[in-house]
């Protein structure tokens, strides 16, 4: 069973940032209002995420570490309408198979917390006011062949930072903090999308960006997109979210690029934070746990909508 989980882990847990993604998404799914992330040595030595969400009760703690144990999907119909970030129930099992993992959690209404050790699965009473603390230490300590593929601390940290930003941009209503090797890197109070975007992309970006707010049929596009005067943009300043999930999708990237090319006659790299919302039934996110691609039922209509919405905003701005 450990071996099966270790093999499965290869798909879910590519590097510290993929652990961080899963654990952060679980915190968001748990309805957390505040999430605190502590990383050590690029996340290889430790990833610790504390949230104030609904918690996990004693009996469900052991289940949470089992493969295909999810509390989020009960029927196949649910799969069509996933509202949560996770739904496969394999992330924690995979993580626990390749790192020293523990979960401490206090379910809403419980008199105290419990801690489960991901190694021997022992349960013990613990102290915690509310929510859940997931502690993932020494990634790949038991699979040295995988450990060899990890990059430098700086590179792994950069991937973690990127992952943190994605979640933080998607959920400005959640207070979020990130520290690395004991130093606070981001301290983000809950607030408006614009405030969160300013905090993470720089006020400079907001000053050189236009707000996007377009609606058409069942599609909605909101966010901010840079004007040509903004020249500091790079690939890591391009964020596209579909129904709250970060995606890097060819169709959407193409629609954005076309809009900029038409208006600016070949601008360099635009910067943007865009949120597309549509009926969940119109988009397939059930592709691959580690992938950030989506499949649209009406891909042409989505492309046209994004292209025209963005082009209109950029044209109005006199760009
Ligand atoms: P999934 O998110 O796909 O359901 P995971 O392996 O990521 O699967 O998590 C397994 C289960 O553990 C979740 O369905 C949820 O019930 C519980 N869980 C994990 N993390 C948290 C958390 N931070 N707060 C509350 N419950 C959690
Ligand atoms: Mg999950």
SS3 content of the chain, % helix, strand, coil (to 5): 40, 25, 35
Q: What percent of the chain has pLDDT over 70?
A: 85
Among 5, 26, 102, 113, say which to mutate for ligand 1: greatest number of ligand atoms within 8 Å of CB. 26
Q: How far is the CA of 64 from the centre of ligand 1 (A)?
A: 6
| pLDDT tens by residue, 16-72 | 999 999 999 999 999 999 999 999 999 999 999 999 999 999 999 989 998 766 766
**Which residue lies with its CA nearest to atom 16 of ligand 1?**
71
**Which residue lies with its CA nearest to atom 10 of ligand 1?**
64
Report the pLDDT value the prediction gives residue 230, as an integer from 0 to 100.
76
**Which residue lies with its CA nearest to atom 11 of ligand 1?**
64
Average per-residue pLDDT for the chain: 89
Report the pLDDT value the prediction gives residue 106, as an integer from 0 to 100.
98
Q: What's the CA gap between 48 and 44, in Å, rounded?
A: 11
| pLDDT tens by residue, 78-98 | 555 556 666 567 899 999 999
| pLDDT tens by residue, 138-193 | 999 999 988 999 999 999 999 999 999 999 999 999 999 999 999 999 999 999 99
Q: How far is the CA of 1 from the centre of ligand 1 (A)?
A: 20
Report the pLDDT value the prediction gives residue 5, as an integer from 0 to 100.
72
DSSP three-state, residue 148: coil
Atom of ligand 1 nearest to the CA of 49: 23
| pLDDT tens by residue, 243-269 | 999 998 999 999 999 998 877 665 567
Q: What's the CA gap between 20 and 69, in Å, rounded?
A: 19
DSSP three-state, residue 114: strand
- The pTM score is 0.92
How distant, in Å, are the alpha carbons of 8, 25, 158 from that of 165?
26, 13, 11
Nearest 5 degrees, angle CA 167-CA 171-CA 71?
Answer: 80
Q: Which residues line ligand 1 (CB under 6 A)?
A: 22, 26-27, 30, 51, 53-56, 64, 69-72, 86-92, 132
Report the pLDDT value the prediction gives residue 284, as an integer from 0 to 100.
82
Higher pLDDT, 11 or 214: 214
Mean local confidence (pLDDT), 129-134: 97
Q: Show the DSSP H helices in the chain as ranges.
A: 2-12, 16-29, 58-64, 76-80, 91-98, 144-147, 153-170, 193-201, 203-207, 250-264, 299-316
Least distant ligand from the CA of 73: 1
Q: How far is the CA of 115 from the centre of ligand 1 (A)?
A: 15
State yes or no: pLDDT of 287 exceeds 70. Answer: no
């Amino acid at each position: 069973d450990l071996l099966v989980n270790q093999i499965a882990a290869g798909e879910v847990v590519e590097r510290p940032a993929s652990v961080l993604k899963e654990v952060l998404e679980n915190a968001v799914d748990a309805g957390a209002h505040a999430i605190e992330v502590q990383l050590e040595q690029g996340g290889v030595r430790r990833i610790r995420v504390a949230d104030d969400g609904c918690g996990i009760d004693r009996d469900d703690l052991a289940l949470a570490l089992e493969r295909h144990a999810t509390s989020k999907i009960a029927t196949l119909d649910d799969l069509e309408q996933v509202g949560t970030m996770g739904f496969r129930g394999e992330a924690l099992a995979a993580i626990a198979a390749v790192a020293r993992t523990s979960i401490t959690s206090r379910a809403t209404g419980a008199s105290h917390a419990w801690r489960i050790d991901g190694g021997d699965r022992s349960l013990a009473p613990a102290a915690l006011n509310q929510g859940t603390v997931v502690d993932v230490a020494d990634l790949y300590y038991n699979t040295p062949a995988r450990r060899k593929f990890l990059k430098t601390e700086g590179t792994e940290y950069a991937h973690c930072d990127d992952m943190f930003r994605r979640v933080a941009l998607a959920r400005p209503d959640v207070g979020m903090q990130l520290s690395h090797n004991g130093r606070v890197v981001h301290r983000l109070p809950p607030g408006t999308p614009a405030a969160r975007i300013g905090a993470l992309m720089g006020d400079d970006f907001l000053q050189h960006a236009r707000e996007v707010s377009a609606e058409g049929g069942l599609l909605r596009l909101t966010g901010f997109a840079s004007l040509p005067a903004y020249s500091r943009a790079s690939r890591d300043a391009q964020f596209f979210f579909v129904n709250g999930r970060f995606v890097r999708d060819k169709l959407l990237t193409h629609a954005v690029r076309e809009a900029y090319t038409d208006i600016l006659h070949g601008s360099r790299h635009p910067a943007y934070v865009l949120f597309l919302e549509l009926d969940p039934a119109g988009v397939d996110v059930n592709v691959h746990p580690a992938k950030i691609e989506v499949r649209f039922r009406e891909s042409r209509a989505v492309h046209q909508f994004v292209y025209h919405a963005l082009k209109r905003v950029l044209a109005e701005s006199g760009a």
